[in-house]
Structure 1
Amino acid sequence: MFQSFTASTSASDSAPRLADLRKKLAKSGVSGFIVPRSDAHCGENVAPRDERLAWLTGFTGSAGQCIVLADQAAIFIDGRYTLQVRSQTDGALFSYHQIPQATPAKWLTEALPEGGRIGFDPWLHGQREIEALEKALTPKGITLEPLPENPVDSIWPDQPAPPLGKVAVFPDVIAGKTHASKRQEIAGILKAEGVVATVLTLPDSIAWLLNIRGSDIARTPVALGFAILHADATVLLFMTGAKLDEDVRAHLGPDVTIAEPEAFPAALAALTGRVALDPGTAPLAVKAALSAEIHWMRDPCILPKACKTQAELASTREAHLIDAVAMARFLAWLDEAAPSGGLTEIDAVRELESLRRAGNTLQDISFETISGAGPNGAIVHYRVTEDSNRPITPGDLLLIDSGGQYLEGTTDITRTVATGPVQPEARRAFTLVLKGMIAMSQARWPEGLAGRDLDALARIALWQAGMDYDHGTGHGVGVYLSVHEGPQSLSRRGTEALKPGMILSNEPGYYREGAFGIRIENLLVVEPPETPSGGDRAMLGFETITFAPIDRRLIDPDLLSTAERDWLNAYHARTAAIVSPRVDDATAVWLTKACAPL
């Protein structure tokens, strides 16, 4: 259920913690230290033990970095967090910088004199990141120093212990492949690359490869650990034995040898021959422990994991229908309750999470629910707390971004809802966002194009009005795994060619600071469409798998083309047809009205 942030991440604690860290750095002989929002597995979501950035600064976003020097400190965030970082941290202690307009390298070259030494934890940074930073800093006479101990850990007196969540078997019938067949498939890639083994550090890669799931990370069903996959398809799995019961061990079988995490560095040192390592995700400490020849290549599980099997897609479609029931019941409840007042953002979160759990199939929510009313909706990754909790005033726009983790699949959906009379500027902005969402839903493109080639489709209507949004249009999604999954994305940085079976979100938005936020999100599956008559090229398109009404009260029909109106009416007709039989009579009546033709 709803969780608010604890006092341990309060901005008021930052001053003494910064002072303690600076004393520690002075004793270490370095000019400063990098504090990323990361762990040794380069995951987006981290265990409480690894929330160093939040503990030091108060900023709880899922991406960011702080650099602490003797006389100043800076926080680097992307466009999603420009408002959140200011609301959660002390501007007297930290300067704020938005990536990519600003970079840590540029800031350091201006803040440090020649001879400066910046410390970092080699378990929290990869080769590619450090290599790029060194390239920018070396000409300025600034060096990077891996430290044997993380100085934040040494000043964090009540740092949580490492998680010990239980591991579970993920059914082959949902995965569509056994872990033996997956190991053979990836081993074939290793042989083709001429390597004897690869080191896997991403928990979702290990979970996918071995058909297991875990509970070490809130909202993301993975188990923290490391693995070495050999070219003969055998695996050394470094994971705390207490997490693995006899059923899991029997599932893994004799070709998967289990060892404690403490044995990982020695196993790395013992490897011989050419060993594959991912420069983007493997911690630099792994490279340092290897004595074997390193072959840099992307984690070989990433792309196969992204291209879902037919079994995974069928199961995910079912997960979205399960989720659609909860969303329909929630939107019907909200429609009745919000106009009379008395609701708060937290009330909406609790009701939606309760309705998801009522189906008895929810394993967890897939991320902390975003419930932003009025101006709070303009904070892209806003997380309501007891302190920030805002009443939902009739007439506010309520942006609710949420999702569920079901054994069948992972969902992620955003709806922006009117709670009373709608202002013309809000209706216009909503309709422009809707036009972009429809354009992406209907996209068709030649094989080989990437997300960056499609991203503009969702923005054109906004651009023509002099508007935009500072986040990507869509991210990849796993199957009962990470709600944010690479390598696929719909964004200006999306360089991975889109392939059949990939699941992506489609979520354009618009945010007016101090007034409202708008985002509409469905999930899509990449699939080959029917070739039009006369067509002569292999094409790809999208299948929409999310079904929930889009608030018709927020739409200006005059701004929609006939084709856009037809798409919306067809989407609503299908939503009513497939969701109504699964809900109670009262919700079905509401659904019929909410999905009426425009």
Structure 2
Amino acid sequence: MFQNFDVPSAPHAAGDRLAALRLTFSHLGVDAIAVPRGDEFLGEYVPDNAERLAFLTSFTGSAGLVLVERTAATLFVDGRYTAQARTQTDPAHFSIVDLVSEPLPVFLQSRAAADKQKTGAPYRLGIDPWTWPGSDVERLKAALDKIGGELVLLRENPVDAIWTDRPAAPCQPVTIQPLEFAGEPARDKLARLQDTIAGSGADAAVLSDPSSIAWSFNIRGSDLPSTPHPLSRAILPANERPTLFIEPAKLNREVEAYLTQLADLAQPDAFETALRRLAASGARILVSPASAPHAISELVESAGGTVIAAADPAQVPRAVKNEAELSASAEIHRQDGAAMVRFLAWFDAQPPGSIDEIAAATQLEAFRASTGAAMQRPLMALSFDTISGAGPNAAIIHYRVNRDTNRQINAGEMYLVDSGGQYVPGTTDITRTLAVGAVPAEQRRFFTLILKGMIAISRLRFPAGTRGIDIDAFARQALWQGGVDYAHGTGHGVGSYLSVHEGPQSLSRRGMQELLPGMILSNEPGYYRDGAFGIRIENLVYVHEPRDIAGGDRPMLGFETLTLCPIDRRLIVPGLLDDTERHWLNAYHARVRDSLSPLLGNEVLTRQWLTAATADI
């Protein structure tokens, strides 16, 4: 079983840990220390030995940071995690602040100014520059400069010094991603990247994002939960062989022989020396301020090199899936859809109140595993811990069920399941909200408004140059008309057997990346009423090539839907759908039925369930 339902660490441990951290302040010469969720690779998921935020606070969400001061500690989380943070942390030790409305730089300006008035000394904030991207560090510096404060870049992470039972770093085997799914040899990818580096005026680039390294070298790993990354770094010169800094114990003979054809291999602890030597030669080195640790830029500049601040050269090419990647993704979504249908048919056959959230999540994982084994495309991992929430638990946007929070799935409420799988051909992510018995009319109305938003995105046509920020409101329009909204983006990028949350593409109020053909995104509007219910519907889509529109004068981009799974008809208020929305839904359900029925073999009852679940409205 991939998912662990054990209870998170108890909040009461935080008091002793905060006290131990504060004892280091005098020695470090700081008034406060800020600890983010990110590790030295700045990914969404971190290995056990880098769960510093959880160690200090007991908060286990995938985004956030804590500011520990001499007499206070403040946890910053976004709207997805507000309820979770309140549940997991001890209010005697932590206050919670919304990091969107009051990010740390804004918070610091008032806090540090007040501190200076009391003490007469400048407010000194310590951070580990290996765990902060350069762009965030610049914002912190600017905020502190305004009030005469100072940012202190620490040489060692102070949390590690007090973490006496810290786990060992992961060292899992690396595999080669088959060319039939990668679609392009690694040698060609690296040559493309070198052209980009040379075009930027740089002599070399640092690849610090494990996703970029996995994609560039056509390798995968399992150092992280849910994400097939081998933790590593690379230096990619514009005109010479790359150097890949990776633990040798992760490489078998086949993988080592493959990689030595592409790059020189070196130990991870040789990275800083190699980068310092390159910088000392006066090299201009491309470093991404958004995805590379600030420590890398500091190292380059202190050694005499010049930092070229630019986006990771692999980021957009990785996001734009080629024909082989899209074909593999479509095929794995058929398989994943068959597993989902088996689960939904099973779920509907259970009497209300007879199963709980853990039982449902466990059964879904079992269907993914058995379907993958039968189709010879095994489930390698869950793409994230399944969100399995009934009734009020579904209102917690990123709810993670454990044995303490687990509840029965009862009649008269909705059950939300957000889940996905990692398969060698691709990554899946799907959310369905299900009726359990007769659901109140108000909840069905909200479900239909969300469906209208999801269909609006699915049907949308847009010109080249359109960004996610330009599209996000289409998903919210029906909800806004109903006087409600949701506190998360409408869609995130998705990798190809890589991270389920991939940038730079997104459908959100911060989605500044142009949407390009081949990009895969989620389409997942929702609505959440605290303590009562939560609703989300999610399909994955990809941006298709520009197409002519009858009567128009320019081709338009649009989305093709990858996810194949029924949407619960029992929760739809048909009168709230217009003719075009009804036509889209019926056509989608016909496609789901035609695509998945052949995969169900002689499972008569499941096929009958699918036929009924996809009937026209």
TM-score normalized with structure 2 length = 0.95
Equivalent in the alignment of 1:161: 168
Conservation of the 8 A alpha-carbon contact between 1:410 and 1:478? yes
344, 356, 362: which one aligns with 1:350: 362
**Cα distance change of structure 1 residues 545 and 305 upon mapping to structure 2, 3 Å threshold:** same
**Cα distance change of structure 1 residues 95 and 352 upon mapping to structure 2, 3 Å threshold:** same
Equivalent in the alignment of 2:145: 138
Conservation of the 8 A alpha-carbon contact between 2:546 and 2:555? no
The whole-number CA distance in structure 1 between the counterparts of 2:230 and 2:419 is 23
Equivalent position amino acid for 1:371 in 2: S
Equivalent in the alignment of 2:192: 185
**Cα distance change of structure 1 residues 254 and 574 upon mapping to structure 2, 3 Å threshold:** closer
Q: Deviations over 1:337-374 (max 9, x none)?
A: 1x332210000110000110112211111000000000
Determine helix, strand or coil for the equivalent of 2:81: helix
Per-residue deviation at 1:6?
5.5
Equivalent in the alignment of 2:395: 378
Equivalent in the alignment of 2:352: 340
Instruction: Tell me, yes or no, if structure 1 residue 399 matches structure 2 residue 406.
Output: no
Conservation of the 8 A alpha-carbon contact between 1:2 and 1:350? no
Equivalent in the alignment of 2:293: 283
The whole-number CA distance in structure 1 between the counterparts of 2:358 and 2:27 is 45
Instruction: Tell me, yes or no, if structure 1 residue 596 matches structure 2 residue 615.
Output: yes
Equivalent in the alignment of 1:61: 61
Q: Deviations over 1:207-262 (max 9, x none)?
A: 00000000100110010011001112521011110001111122223341111111
Q: Deviations over 1:76-115 (max 9, x none)?
A: 1111111111011111211111122111122222223230
532, 551, 561: which one aligns with 2:568: 551
Per-residue deviation at 1:16?
0.9
The number of residue pairs the alignment matches comes to 597
Conservation of the 8 A alpha-carbon contact between 1:201 and 1:225? yes
Equivalent position amino acid for 2:49 in 1: R
- The gaps in structure 2 that reach 5 residues or longer are 117-121
Q: Deviations over 1:498-543 (max 9, x none)?
A: 0000000000000011111000000001003531222112310000
The whole-number CA distance in structure 2 between the counterparts of 1:45 and 1:96 is 22
The whole-number CA distance in structure 2 between the counterparts of 1:529 and 1:279 is 32
Determine helix, strand or coil for the equivalent of 2:339: helix
Equivalent in the alignment of 1:221: 228
Q: Deviations over 1:437-491 (max 9, x none)?
A: 0000001001101000000000000000101000000000001000000000000
Task: Please say which of residues 339-348 and 215-224 is displaced more in the overlay.
Answer: 339-348
Instruction: Tell me, yes or no, if structure 1 residue 523 matches structure 2 residue 544.
Output: no
Per-residue deviation at 1:194?
1.8
The whole-number CA distance in structure 2 between the counterparts of 1:306 and 1:587 is 36
Equivalent position amino acid for 1:384 in 2: V
**Cα distance change of structure 1 residues 150 and 195 upon mapping to structure 2, 3 Å threshold:** same
The whole-number CA distance in structure 2 between the counterparts of 1:344 and 1:334 is 11
The whole-number CA distance in structure 2 between the counterparts of 1:275 and 1:366 is 33
Instruction: Tell me, yes or no, if structure 1 residue 365 matches structure 2 residue 372.
Output: no
Q: Deviations over 1:149-197 (max 9, x none)?
A: 1111111111111100110000112111000000111011111112111
Conservation of the 8 A alpha-carbon contact between 2:108 and 2:143? no
Per-residue deviation at 1:201?
0.5
The whole-number CA distance in structure 2 between the counterparts of 1:513 and 1:379 is 7
Per-residue deviation at 1:126?
1.7
Equivalent position amino acid for 1:35 in 2: V
The whole-number CA distance in structure 2 between the counterparts of 1:80 and 1:376 is 13
The whole-number CA distance in structure 2 between the counterparts of 1:255 and 1:540 is 36
152, 176, 196: which one aligns with 2:183: 176
Task: Please say which of residues 565-574 and 232-241 is displaced more in the overlay.
Answer: 232-241
Instruction: Tell me, yes or no, if structure 1 residue 149 matches structure 2 residue 156.
Output: yes
Conservation of the 8 A alpha-carbon contact between 2:226 and 2:382? yes
The whole-number CA distance in structure 2 between the counterparts of 1:510 and 1:183 is 43
Equivalent in the alignment of 2:135: 128
Conservation of the 8 A alpha-carbon contact between 2:7 and 2:403? no
Conservation of the 8 A alpha-carbon contact between 1:183 and 1:233? no
Conservation of the 8 A alpha-carbon contact between 1:36 and 1:124? yes
Instruction: Tell me, yes or no, if structure 1 residue 52 matches structure 2 residue 52.
Output: yes
Determine helix, strand or coil for the equivalent of 2:80: helix
The whole-number CA distance in structure 2 between the counterparts of 1:56 and 1:225 is 26
Determine helix, strand or coil for the equivalent of 1:380: coil
Per-residue deviation at 1:29?
2.0
Determine helix, strand or coil for the equivalent of 1:80: coil
Conservation of the 8 A alpha-carbon contact between 2:222 and 2:229? yes
Equivalent position amino acid for 1:225 in 2: S
Equivalent position amino acid for 2:101 in 1: Q
Conservation of the 8 A alpha-carbon contact between 1:182 and 1:209? yes
Determine helix, strand or coil for the equivalent of 2:222: coil
Conservation of the 8 A alpha-carbon contact between 1:238 and 1:264? yes
Equivalent in the alignment of 1:571: 588
TM-score normalized with structure 1 length = 0.98
The whole-number CA distance in structure 1 between the counterparts of 2:188 and 2:569 is 47
Equivalent position amino acid for 2:164 in 1: P
Conservation of the 8 A alpha-carbon contact between 2:383 and 2:429? yes
The whole-number CA distance in structure 2 between the counterparts of 1:153 and 1:5 is 26
Instruction: Tell me, yes or no, if structure 1 residue 412 matches structure 2 residue 422.
Output: no
Instruction: Tell me, yes or no, if structure 1 residue 586 matches structure 2 residue 594.
Output: no
Conservation of the 8 A alpha-carbon contact between 2:547 and 2:555? no
Conservation of the 8 A alpha-carbon contact between 1:78 and 1:98? yes
Residues 169-318 of structure 1: matches in 2 within 5 Å?
169-232=176-239, 234-271=241-278, 272=281, 273-290=283-300, 291=303, 292-318=305-331
RMSD between aligned alpha carbons? Answer: 1.1
Q: Deviations over 1:549-579 (max 9, x none)?
A: 0000000001000110111011001100110
Q: Deviations over 1:409-462 (max 9, x none)?
A: 000000000011110110000000000000000010011010000000000000
Task: Please say which of residues 299-308 and 187-196 is displaced more in the overlay.
Answer: 187-196
Equivalent position amino acid for 1:329 in 2: R
Instruction: Give percent identity, aligned residues only.
Output: 51
The whole-number CA distance in structure 2 between the counterparts of 1:151 and 1:393 is 47
Equivalent in the alignment of 2:119: none
Conservation of the 8 A alpha-carbon contact between 2:130 and 2:294? yes
Equivalent position amino acid for 1:436 in 2: G
Task: Please say which of residues 229-238 and 503-512 is displaced more in the overlay.
Answer: 229-238
Equivalent position amino acid for 2:105 in 1: A
**Cα distance change of structure 1 residues 7 and 596 upon mapping to structure 2, 3 Å threshold:** closer
Determine helix, strand or coil for the equivalent of 1:528: strand
Determine helix, strand or coil for the equivalent of 1:362: coil
**Cα distance change of structure 1 residues 150 and 206 upon mapping to structure 2, 3 Å threshold:** same
